[in-house]
């Protein structure tokens, strides 16, 4: 009896380990640019030509890992079940989260301290606009991004 329960524990332990490793691999794979691009090809082109070709998709489009993965599962479901075509349909957006991410990279304490003029001007700018994207076109060249909504010849 004792032996059996020891064996059970080992099996459970190994199973848990496999699950942890598998989900961390999955989490990494589903955070890669190539994964995003498989559904968002137009955004790749507009991103390649933007100010941020070296910044990964997930750095700007994150609300934290757990929310990202839950939303991600829903997106895979919507795509596979044919309810949303990410290449052609208009997609929702979340400007507040995007602005938080911009601030996280561009307005750290160090930057603000070492660049008083930048800090001062942006305090003034931000009285007139809620989000950074109201003035900047950072992640994507807008003209290219809009091509996504032009119907393709096979979607008539
Ligand atoms: C399986 C296809 C698929 C993959 C892979 C995918 N998306 Fe999406 N994406 C969608 C769909 C479908 C929507 C629309 C969701 C809706 O209507 O609620 C969407 C919406 C979005 C939006 C609009 C705002 C939002 O959150 O709804 C952003 C930004 C986005 N995706 C970025 C990404 C990034 C970054 C990645 C890679 C980590 C990624 N997507 C991977 C299908 C996908
Ligand atoms: C992961 C960090 C990161 C995030 C998130 C990010 N950026 Fe950047 N940004 C960079 C890097 C790196 C550059 C490349 C230029 C450089 O070396 O300063 C850059 C360049 C820029 C530039 C051009 C600067 C110049 O000197 O011409 C602007 C403007 C800018 N970002 C605004 C934004 C805005 C607005 C957002 C949010 C939508 C954003 N960034 C999100 C890291 C980031
Ligand atoms: C009302 C418009 C406006 C808003 C809102 C705004 N900016 Fe700017 N930003 C500018 C202008 C104009 C410049 C160029 C002149 C300057 O540096 O003041 C600039 C310059 C920049 C630069 C480049 C600075 C450099 O010289 O390297 C970065 C990075 C930047 N902004 C980030 C941001 C971020 C992040 C946000 C959101 C928190 C934001 N901006 C919101 C108008 C705006
Ligand atoms: C520097 C930040 C940044 C990077 C890097 C970035 N994006 Fe974006 N993305 C944005 C901003 C800002 C918007 C516009 C949000 C808005 O206006 O609602 C946006 C919009 C989108 C949308 C919504 C489509 C639409 O028309 O509004 C999708 C999908 C998207 N990005 C996918 C991606 C993918 C895939 C990558 C990587 C290949 C990527 N983004 C890289 C900042 C970024």
SS (H, E, C) the chain: CHHHHHHHHHHHHHHHHHHHHHHHHHHHHCCCHHHHHHHCHHHHHHHHCCCCCCCCHHHHCCCCHHHHHHHHHHHHHHHHCCCCCCCCCCCCCCHHHHHHHHHHHHCCHHHHHHCHHHHHHHHHHCCCCCCHHHCCCCCCCHHHHHHHHCCCHHHC
Instruction: Please state the pTM of the whole predicted model.
Output: 0.88
The pLDDT assigned to 27 comes to 81
Give, using CA atoms, the residue closest to atom 41 of ligand 4: 57
- pLDDT average per 10 residues of sequence, the chain (156 residues): 80 92 84 90 89 92 90 93 88 82 94 96 92 88 74 57
The pLDDT assigned to 156 comes to 47
Q: Which ligand is nearest to the CA of 103?
A: 3
Specify the ligand 1 atom closest to the Cα of 31.
38
| Gap between the Cα atoms of 111 and 77, Å rounded | 41
| 148, 87 contact by CB (below 8 A) | yes
| Gap between the Cα atoms of 6 and 10, Å rounded | 6
List, in order, residues 6 or more apart from 52 with CB less than 8 Å away.
60, 138, 139
The pLDDT assigned to 2 comes to 63
The pLDDT assigned to 150 comes to 63
Give, using CA atoms, the residue closest to atom 13 of ligand 2: 52
The pLDDT assigned to 60 comes to 92
């Amino acid at each position: 009896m004792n032996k059996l329960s020891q064996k059970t524990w080992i099996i459970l332990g190994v199973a848990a380990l496999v699950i942890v490793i598998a989900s961390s691999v999955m989490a990494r794979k589903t955070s890669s640019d190539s994964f995003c691009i498989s559904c968002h090809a137009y955004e790749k082109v507009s991103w390649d030509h933007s100010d941020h070709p070296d910044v990964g998709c997930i750095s700007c489009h994150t609300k934290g890992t757990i929310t990202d993965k839950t939303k991600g599962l829903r997106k895979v479901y919507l795509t596979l079940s044919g309810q949303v075509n990410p290449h052609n349909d208009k997609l929702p957006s979340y400007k507040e989260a995007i602005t938080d991410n911009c601030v996280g990279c561009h307005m750290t304490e160090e930057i603000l301290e070492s660049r008083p003029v930048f800090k001062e001007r942006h305090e003034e700018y931000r009285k007139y606009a809620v989000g950074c994207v109201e003035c900047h076109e950072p992640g994507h060249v807008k003209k290219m991004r809009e091509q996504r909504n032009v119907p393709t010849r096979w979607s008539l």
